[in-house]
Chain A
């Protein structure tokens, strides 16, 4: 490489345009699945190692934490990575939750004659439940596509209002649904009149959903969510999304199809929100229209802001913190919201970029180490130059 006045080397063109893709990468086609397998193994251990009463308080909290992380991390794909401000995430969650709940509720009524849990661990009931969650995710993803389309024309506050409106529309529509059909006989002799509007419980919500959600399912799906989010972030696809956040004009000039990136972000985020909605419905046994409201959406927005935009580990930590905190403050019931709000204000004053900023936990450690090395004796002259 020729140095000096010329800044362009001699073999430039040859270096930039190699024809044959001959690169060595480790592992085979299955290597990519290893992290997911490990996560599911951990979920299995969690499920069987923790004491039997699955409905105990701590287990319940652990489930909620897992579900909330899925929601916050998926929202972070839209808000953090792609930089589109969505405050309708609970809407997607409700769409998924209602879809999944109605499938298992009416499904198990038709299949097994009652809405109680059917089959043991990985039994037929569990598979119906898993299928319903995936269906919930898919329906939510379609909703995500529809909501993503205006993001091609709208920016910032205006897009936020559209997503807010979406959540509210979902809430109001769910309130207008018909009363629940509560036993098998009624379901078998059902007429068209009872199916329009769909019998999803109206403003009371859908209750009596079989509680299939357990730590195994929650943490398996959490694993998949985290792996997908991280792989997106560290790939060409993720770089494209981040470039849209940083500078749309420059992103386009570099060949990024910004319309596709925005819609993709919405669809992926909505899918996981929908799955999380399914988990949530089968954890508490009820879903109601108020779950789609903007107050819920705001909780997740706060988590992404607190965690740092685009930082998956930061948002995970924030989700854990903001789920556990209200539980710890239960003894100070009347001051709970004040403490919560105060903490947020302090946080925004001290670290406006969020807990981890744009970094991940492990990157923070690396940086600190590198800084320590640089501040040592061997500082190269180039680094102390003007």
Chain B
């Protein structure tokens, strides 16, 4: 355990050093686009997310934010452009392959497995890299049992970190809304991702819960050393925690920069408030 934490400290030191230089890009998205029939849902979307970066993606409803997530996670295949994670090209991968490569996501409308227990929801995500096949499952070999026990322990530890361990045996559908949102994030983390995509994690939360969430997202980034890309409508939250923000409107990137830059960009203000009185 000691050597492990030591190793991690060294690793995070390395990462902190690397984040300063702009060359250390973990997720490199180059001009991806997709159209559905004649509708160009997303055009030439680019993003350079560094290791342990915390970036935001905002825009009015229907701007194509979730479509970007769907492109990044393989739900849709991009018509053009390239996606690279570390040294790995992801372009045409299937969703489960992309998750295995290290991109995990949550969903805007909660998509837990309602009739599985809280623990099983986490275990399902954590078993991604399990090696044992059908035959050893059926005859319950020793190796298989070790793997399952390890998975159970790791999942419980993860639940403990987020203080949900008391609800481990409950059905996911019986959790409160706030806890369900939390469990979605835990489940995504259980896949051991390098990049975490959060789709409106603050939707439906009350002000206190939003404050706690903002704190959690930062801490998740620090403790798990994941890069976070956040879609959120709650502007104070986004402005507070994100290092850089990309603004989408009608599938086109209209602005990109630090929160302060984005907030003062006339095109962003126009997108959110309408294009001024003279047009009306």
A350 at the interface (CB under 8 A from B): no
B139 touches A8 (CB 8 A): no
B95 touches A8 (CB 8 A): no
B161 touches A15 (CB 8 A): yes
Across the interface, A256 reaches (CB within 8 A) one of B96, B153, B188, namely: B96
A23 to B220, CA, bound (A): 26
Contact bitstring A265-281, B, C-beta under 8 A = 1, else 0: 00010000000000000
- CB-CB nearest in chain B for A242: B116
- CB-CB nearest in chain A for B187: A254
Across the interface, B96 reaches (CB within 8 A) one of A31, A236, A258, A358, namely: A258
A145 to B147, CA, bound (A): 28
A235 to B116, CA, bound (A): 13
A236 touches B8 (CB 8 A): no
Residues of B within 8 A of A8 (CB): 161-162, 216, 219-220, 223
Stretch at the interface among B18-26, B121-129, B248-256: B121-129
B122-163, CB < 8 A from A = 123-125, 127-128, 130, 132, 134, 137-142, 144-151, 153-154, 157-158, 160-163
Residues of A within 8 A of B75 (CB): 249, 252-253
CB of A86, distance to nearest CB on chain B (Å): 19
B86-139, CB < 8 A from A = 94-96, 99-100, 104-105, 107, 111-116, 120, 123-125, 127-128, 130, 132, 134, 137-139
Residues of B within 8 A of A258 (CB): 96
Across the interface, A239 reaches (CB within 8 A) one of B124, B134, B163, B219, namely: B124
A252 touches B146 (CB 8 A): no
Residues of A within 8 A of B96 (CB): 252, 255-258
A249 to B74, CA, bound (A): 11
A331 at the interface (CB under 8 A from B): no
- CB-CB nearest in chain A for B213: A7
Across the interface, B150 reaches (CB within 8 A) one of A6, A23, A237, namely: A23
> How many chain-B residues does the 8 Å CB contact rule pick out?
67
Residues of A within 8 A of B140 (CB): 31-32, 231
B246 at the interface (CB under 8 A from A): no
Describe B's contact surface by its main secondary structure. helix
Residues of A within 8 A of B224 (CB): 12-13, 16
Across the interface, B138 reaches (CB within 8 A) one of A16, A21, A228, A250, namely: A228
B139 touches A253 (CB 8 A): no
CB of B162, distance to nearest CB on chain A (Å): 6
B212 at the interface (CB under 8 A from A): yes
Residues of A within 8 A of B137 (CB): 231-232, 235-237
Contact bitstring A228-247, B, C-beta under 8 A = 1, else 0: 10011001110110110011
Residues of A within 8 A of B206 (CB): none
Across the interface, B219 reaches (CB within 8 A) one of A6, A29, A240, A252, namely: A6
A123 at the interface (CB under 8 A from B): no
- CB-CB nearest in chain A for B112: A250
Across the interface, B158 reaches (CB within 8 A) one of A16, A19, A227, A232, namely: A16
Contact bitstring A1-39, B, C-beta under 8 A = 1, else 0: 101011111111111111101011101110111000000
A1-B160, A15-B161, A253-B99 known; A239+B107 contact, CB < 8 A = no
Residues of A within 8 A of B132 (CB): 236
With a 10 A CB-CB cut-off, give which of B112, B128, B137, B188 has the most chain A CB atoms. Answer: B137
Across the interface, B73 reaches (CB within 8 A) one of A18, A25, A27, A253, namely: A253
Residues of A within 8 A of B191 (CB): 254-255
Residues of B within 8 A of A21 (CB): 146-147, 150
A14 to B1, CA, bound (A): 8
Residues of A within 8 A of B145 (CB): 25, 27, 32
A264 at the interface (CB under 8 A from B): yes
CB of B35, distance to nearest CB on chain A (Å): 21
Residues of A within 8 A of B1 (CB): 14
A246 to B124, CA, bound (A): 12
CB of A314, distance to nearest CB on chain B (Å): 14
A264 touches B192 (CB 8 A): no
A246 to B121, CA, bound (A): 11
A7 touches B158 (CB 8 A): no
List chain A positions with a Cβ less than 8 A from chain B: 1, 3, 5-19, 21, 23-25, 27-29, 31-33, 227-228, 231-232, 235-237, 239-240, 242-243, 246-247, 249-258, 264, 268, 358
Given contacts A7-B163, A12-B223, A13-B224, 14 further A-B contacts (CB under 8 A): A3-B163, A7-B219, A12-B219, A14-B5, A25-B142, A29-B141, A32-B140, A32-B145, A236-B148, A239-B124, A243-B116, A249-B95, A249-B111, A251-B124
List chain B positions with a Cβ less than 8 A from chain A: 1, 4-5, 8, 73-75, 94-96, 99-100, 104-105, 107, 111-116, 120, 123-125, 127-128, 130, 132, 134, 137-142, 144-151, 153-154, 157-158, 160-163, 182, 187-192, 212, 215-216, 219-220, 223-225
In order of increasing CB-CB distance, the 9 nearest A-B pairs are A32-B140, A12-B223, A255-B128, A252-B95, A8-B219, A255-B99, A250-B111, A246-B113, A236-B127
